[in-house]
Structure 1
Amino acid sequence: MPFLDHLEELRWRIFKSLGAVLVCVLGCLFFADWILDAILLAPTRASFFMYEVLRLDSVNVELQNRTITGQFFAYFGTVLAVGLILGSPVVLYQVWKFVEPALYPKERHGMRFSAAFATFFFVLGASFGYLIITPVALQFFAQFNVSESITNEFDISRYFSMVITWTFGAGALFELPVVVTFLAKAGLVTAAVLKTGRKYAFVVILVLGALFTPPDPFSQILLAIPLLGLYELAILLAGGVERQRLKAERAEAAAEAKRQAAG
């Protein structure tokens, strides 16, 4: 395909992606009240189901709006964020359809698996951030008092920001096995290197936890625990990639030996 035709194809893929996101955002406008009340504000209520699951002694969290535009931006910001999330599969599909013609059949199969792999770990991480980190950290800070004369009441903008950070930050960090698998396939890391770097990985994980969570050691450690488990999983995956590569090299060497013997 000529270069200009590639640009035209890319232009239409972008238009379709933006159209899908716009439709999702407009659709979320009809459910904005439910999204805010049943999802984002649910952890502020002591009746939130995860408090029972986690056996937490919960209290209602009081929210306040301290800026003129606080509730306005919280409302429409939520609609936009949820619309982007719902439209993201279509965006990924359009990116895939643009790249697909340039790949070999084997590469296409690998990319499909990688996309599913990445999606699974992102959803797992986002679920952990919303269902575990958010309720535990929120109740910890809501009930932490240096004096009985001080009442904990959180600003609504700060609350929404923290929930989004906990949720999507955890989702991004849970992509660790996907990133390591990609690097292993590219030959940039090995299982041996990962095992040797465990102590350094622990420090890096704590730093990443600090970047993707509020600046407190409590939520930082809470996020670091599963990340350490994912790091161990990444070591196993890197080892699996190495074994597959070695097996392929042996098969190729055997086939080459057969061709030479036949010749």
Structure 2
Amino acid sequence: MPMIKNSEQSEREFEKNNFNYHFVELKTRLFLCVITFIFFALISYYFSEQIYGFLTKPLLEIYSPKAGRRLIFTNLTEAFFTYFKVACYSGFIFSFPFIAFQLYFFVAPGLYRKEKWTLIPILLFIPVLFFLGAATVYYFVIPMAWKFFLSFENLNSTEYLPVMLEAKISDYLDLTLEMIIGFGIAFQLPVIALLLAKAKVLKGSWLADKRKYAVVAIFIVAAILTPPDVISQVLLAIPLLLLYEISIVICKVIEKV
């Protein structure tokens, strides 16, 4: 009996020490993630005017032939908090690869060697696909969407008061960043499919059978993530449909491995 009690006590002490070790490691990695985010957020705030210029460039290119154009803010703190929000968004985007690898290093000791080699390319593809989605919305969708919205202006009317856009800086940057992040998240479809296929939750044949429903769902998602014009919705839907087909191929390959 004393030997059994000593064995149980040793096992409880081992589990407690093991839990304490993982808890300390988790706190350390979370601390590193927070410090990295704050560092990139501060750097982004220092360059907030340049980031503002980059985000407003599509609107500037449409505005350029016309005089008297501007973005406005309607209370004293709005511009400051808008720049602060942009810095936080940028800080998260730039620190995300580091945060993802910290998560990997935390869970890696509990994985088999094959699982470790599977996760590494996934961690590399996540930021690549995110920036691919962000580039798609910035260089293709936003210019067309802004032209559509500005087509409702009527500056040369002689019969009634002219209609002219004077956008708030917070509204413009919120909409732009939401679209960029929305596209970046939507482009993670192959990564999600890969993880679900590895977990044997998703099959390529099932995705192929549900293709017609997926087309409808993709256009609904595109309508939610984009301004209410057909062109920008189609520009998001087309790459999502392509990513869906890539996800089918990925799942079928994973099934054969």
TM-score (norm 2): 0.82
Listed one character per residue, the Cα deviations across residues 158-194 of structure 1 (whole Å, up to 9, x for unaligned) are 2111111111111100111111122222222222211
CA distance in 2, matches of 1:218, 1:238: 31
Aligned to 1:228: 241
CA distance in 1, matches of 2:167, 2:236: 22
Listed one character per residue, the Cα deviations across residues 108-127 of structure 1 (whole Å, up to 9, x for unaligned) are 11110111122221121111
**2:159 is aligned with 1:160:** no
Alignment of 1:90-239 (within 5 A): 90-145=98-153, 148=157, 149-239=162-252
The answer (yes or no) to whether the contact 1:165–1:213 under 8 Å persists in 2 is no
Listed one character per residue, the Cα deviations across residues 203-243 of structure 1 (whole Å, up to 9, x for unaligned) are 21122223323455443332112111111111121221222
The answer (yes or no) to whether the contact 2:145–2:227 under 8 Å persists in 1 is no
The answer (yes or no) to whether the contact 2:97–2:123 under 8 Å persists in 1 is no
Give SS of 1:91's match: helix
Aligned to 1:78: 86
Q: Which amino acid aligns with 2:71?
A: Q
Q: Highest Rg: 1 or 2?
A: 2
Listed one character per residue, the Cα deviations across residues 20-59 of structure 1 (whole Å, up to 9, x for unaligned) are 111112222322222212x11211222xxxxxxxxxxx44
**2:15 is aligned with 1:2:** no
Alignment RMSD, CA only? 2.1
Give SS of 1:153's match: coil
Give SS of 2:167's match: strand
Compare 9-18 and 203-212 and name the one that shifted more. Answer: 203-212
CA distance in 2, matches of 1:86, 1:2: 33
Deviating runs (4+, > 6 A) in structure 1? Answer: none
Q: For 1:40, which of 36, 48, 55 is the aligned residue?
A: 55
In structure 2, relative to structure 1, the CA distance for the partners of 1:139 and 1:205 (3 Å cut) is same
Aligned to 1:241: 254
Q: For 1:16, which of 12, 32, 40 is the aligned residue?
A: 32
Give SS of 1:150's match: coil
Q: Post-superposition shift, 1:19?
A: 0.9
Q: Which amino acid aligns with 1:42?
A: K
Q: Post-superposition shift, 1:145?
A: 4.1
**2:29 is aligned with 1:25:** no
Compare 17-26 and 166-175 and name the one that shifted more. Answer: 17-26
In structure 2, relative to structure 1, the CA distance for the partners of 1:35 and 1:145 (3 Å cut) is closer
Seq. identity, %: 34
Q: Which amino acid aligns with 1:45?
A: L
Unaligned runs of 5+ in 2: 1-16
The answer (yes or no) to whether the contact 1:63–1:155 under 8 Å persists in 2 is no
CA distance in 2, matches of 1:230, 1:89: 22
Aligned to 1:67: 74
The answer (yes or no) to whether the contact 1:10–1:98 under 8 Å persists in 2 is yes
